[in-house]
Copies of this chain bind each other. A is one copy, B any other.
Amino acid sequence: MIRLSRLADYGVVLMTHIAGDAERPCAAHAVAAATRIPEPTVSKVLKALSRHGLLESHRGVNGGYTLARAPSEISVTEIIAAVDGPIAMTECLDADGGACSLETFCPTRGSWLKINNAIRQALDEISLADMIAPTLLFPPPAAPGERRRLIS
């Protein structure tokens, strides 16, 4: 029903992997090999993450990516936002808005904001450190690259 884009999912997986590899810079191809995610895609996601200040990049030989902050200081929200970006948000604001407002004053808007906040808060409370923590008392591992991960 509510879905997370595949790339955003990748983003979280990649971040957790880099967080697990401590201080040494992780090259894109190394992370790709470890996570089994196609390398060009990994590169794309990592670039987005570094552009948004979640990763630091180091060029040249033995370069790669390192976390820009401590895992506990990075929320899942940030990761998702960095990869997927705040698309569509503007469409609701700068769009015509007249097609609906004419008859119905869209009373649902206020509630949507409430829902938005609730979800955002739930995501904000989970940091990258929480993702690394061994919460995997859970049965079978899921593929990180299935089509789309259901959220709710």
A residues lining the B interface (CB < 8 Å):
1-5, 8, 12-13, 16-17, 34-36, 76-77, 80-81, 84-89, 91-93, 95-116, 118-123, 125-126, 130-138, 140-152
Q: Is A115 in contact with B104, judged by CB distance below 8 angstroms?
A: no
Residues of B within 8 Å of A103, CB to CB, are 34-36
- Asked whether A152 and B102 contact (CB < 8 A) given A88-B147, A92-B143, the answer is no
- Contacts A1-B80, A87-B150 known; list 13 others, CB within 8 Å: A1-B4, A86-B150, A88-B147, A91-B147, A92-B143, A92-B146, A96-B143, A97-B140, A100-B141, A100-B143, A107-B136, A120-B152, A121-B122
A32, chain B: closest CB distance, angstroms? 11
Residues of B within 8 Å of A144, CB to CB, are 99-100, 104, 106, 108
Task: Please report the C-alpha to C-alpha distance between residue A122 and residue B116 in the assembled complex, in whole angstroms.
Answer: 9
Q: Is B80 in contact with A116, judged by CB distance below 8 angstroms?
A: no
Q: Is B109 in contact with A13, judged by CB distance below 8 angstroms?
A: no
Task: Please report the C-alpha to C-alpha distance between residue A123 and residue B1 in the assembled complex, in whole angstroms.
Answer: 12
Residues of B within 8 Å of A121, CB to CB, are 122
Q: Is B104 in contact with A152, judged by CB distance below 8 angstroms?
A: no
